[in-house]
Amino acid sequence: MAHDEAASGKKFAFVLLAFQVVFIVLFGVFAEYHWDAKPQSHRPADANGLVKGVRQADAAKSDAPYNPDYAMKDFYPMFQDVHVMMFIGFGYLMTFLRKYGYSSLGINFLLAAFVIQWATLMRGFLHMHDGKFMIDLTTLLTADFGAAAILITFGAVLGKLSPLQYLIMALIEVSVLEVNEWVGVKIFKTLDVGGSIFVHVFGAYFGLACSRVLSRWEYSANGFNTLKYTTKTTDLFSMVGTIFLWMFWPSFNSVMAPAELQQRAVINTYFALASCCVATFICSFLFHHGKISMEMVQNATLAGGVAIGSTADMVVNPYGALIIGFGAGVLSCVGIRFINGILESKLKVHDTCGVNNLHGMPGILAALISAVVCATASESVYGSSYYKVFPSLEKTEENENPRTPLLQAAWQLSALGMTLGVALLSGALTGSVLRLKIFDPLPGPAMFDDEAYFAM
């Protein structure tokens, strides 16, 4: 056994090395700095001699002269908030397992560092110009967004895979994820500023499908039940993750919004999270014999950020944000208290961190809300920002048949359907692949235990 572990660890090292070398080669062949990170003289100028800044979307409609650190001022602080969410937020959130803290943090760290490279490449391949793709601060941001989906999936299968399985899972998932999002954004023209559909729904249901297929191991629930007990210390560490995610979620939901709409996205997310936190405590007292459940506080308080994600930059109004957040908190607590057990016992889906409750159902809710908000969008409410929020409704040269609000709503629902379908299917297939012996499936007794892969 010990020998197998050593051999499996070394094999993993060589696979990882191979991928890293391939990444370096692919970056060498295809990646270059974006104009904004290049010398100013190397940037293309328009007819007026203005050199464009980093934000392609905005720049196209802007008459502002070139501003060399436009991107840094606009994006950098929010980018760092998102970065903290990925590495501290997700990393510590998952340290609640009594004997799996090293793995939660360590594998989270490794997967994220691996994925931000691979997501940069995949996304780059989908946005090539003249055989190259360009890297700027928004590239790093979208790479972090890609990592978010993988870390959500990681939460569903936490404790049940070997490092090699985690890695292959991440590799496949990023590829499918980026294509799904590309189709959703370019073809479906889906509005999803905070990635609730393309990141949260995708990551959660990919992970659940994957976990279901791998559930032949009956060790899952049993192993988990003896090892899942948290300690006070692990709960306090886990709260570090929760609170950083909660605080910085407004950055996650607003950073990709057009500059003019960012503040509204911040306000909406702030209030949605506030009422979601209150809703969680209410449900916790009601569902837990008048006591507070740390599991709910650690997870359900965040559901409001997911549920408002697709509409964060729209005019849902502060009271609307409060209602959305409240609903998400209740939904998430219902999931933890009632649905989780059904998933496990009836459908044999074991969900270690409860990602269905935190990311899955609130993500679906976000998509439904976005359909309602799109369907009821009116120019009188949005005024001059109408077409900035809903670009697909504007008649332009590239968009000769503008959509009606109702049609946009239908496309939002279609994007949800596509994402659910693709995530479940590709997750299940990935799970089947991971069962292959070649990927060193984790032996049952080694689950939920750092000792399998960490020098203690």
Q: Please choose, from the candidates 365, 445, 373, the residue with its C-alpha nearest in 3D space to the C-alpha of residue 409.
A: 373
The nearer residue to a second copy, 259 or 413, going by C-beta atoms, is: 259
Query: Shortest approach of a second copy to residue 215 CB, angstroms?
Result: 26
Q: Give the C-alpha separation, 411 to 403, whole Å.
A: 10
SS3 218: coil
User: If residue 174 lies in a helix (H) or strand (E), which one and from where to where?
Assistant: helix 163-182
Q: Give the C-alpha separation, 118 to 78, whole Å.
A: 22
Query: Shortest approach of a second copy to residue 399 CB, angstroms?
Result: 20
Q: Give the C-alpha separation, 347 to 332, whole Å.
A: 19
Residues in the chain: 456
The nearer residue to a second copy, 164 or 201, going by C-beta atoms, is: 164
Query: Going by C-beta distance under 8 Å and a sequence separation of 6 or more, which residues neighbour residue 148?
Result: 85, 86, 90, 195, 199, 200, 203, 252
Query: Shortest approach of a second copy to residue 249 CB, angstroms?
Result: 10
The nearer residue to a second copy, 219 or 390, going by C-beta atoms, is: 390
Query: Shortest approach of a second copy to residue 379 CB, angstroms?
Result: 10
Tokens of 143: 């790479």
Q: How far is CA 139 from CA 130, 142, 255, in A?
A: 18, 5, 12
Q: Give the C-alpha separation, 285 to 293, whole Å.
A: 8
Query: Shortest approach of a second copy to residue 207 CB, angstroms?
Result: 22
For residues 392 and 403, the answer to whether their CB atoms sit within 8 Å is yes
The nearer residue to a second copy, 9 or 402, going by C-beta atoms, is: 9
The nearer residue to a second copy, 215 or 392, going by C-beta atoms, is: 392
Tokens of 14: 């060589």
The nearer residue to a second copy, 114 or 219, going by C-beta atoms, is: 114
The nearer residue to a second copy, 173 or 440, going by C-beta atoms, is: 440
Question: Residue 129 pairs with which residues in a beta bridge?
Answer: 132
Query: Shortest approach of a second copy to residue 77 CB, angstroms?
Result: 4
Query: Shortest approach of a second copy to residue 273 CB, angstroms?
Result: 7
Query: Shortest approach of a second copy to residue 365 CB, angstroms?
Result: 17
For residues 342 and 228, the answer to whether their CB atoms sit within 8 Å is no
Q: How far is CA 128 from CA 21, 132, 257, in A?
A: 21, 5, 23
The residue type found at 106 is G
Query: Shortest approach of a second copy to residue 418 CB, angstroms?
Result: 30
**161 secondary structure, DSSP code:** S
The nearer residue to a second copy, 26 or 413, going by C-beta atoms, is: 26
Q: Give the C-alpha separation, 453 to 427, whole Å.
A: 24
Q: Give the C-alpha separation, 67 to 56, whole Å.
A: 13
The nearer residue to a second copy, 318 or 341, going by C-beta atoms, is: 318
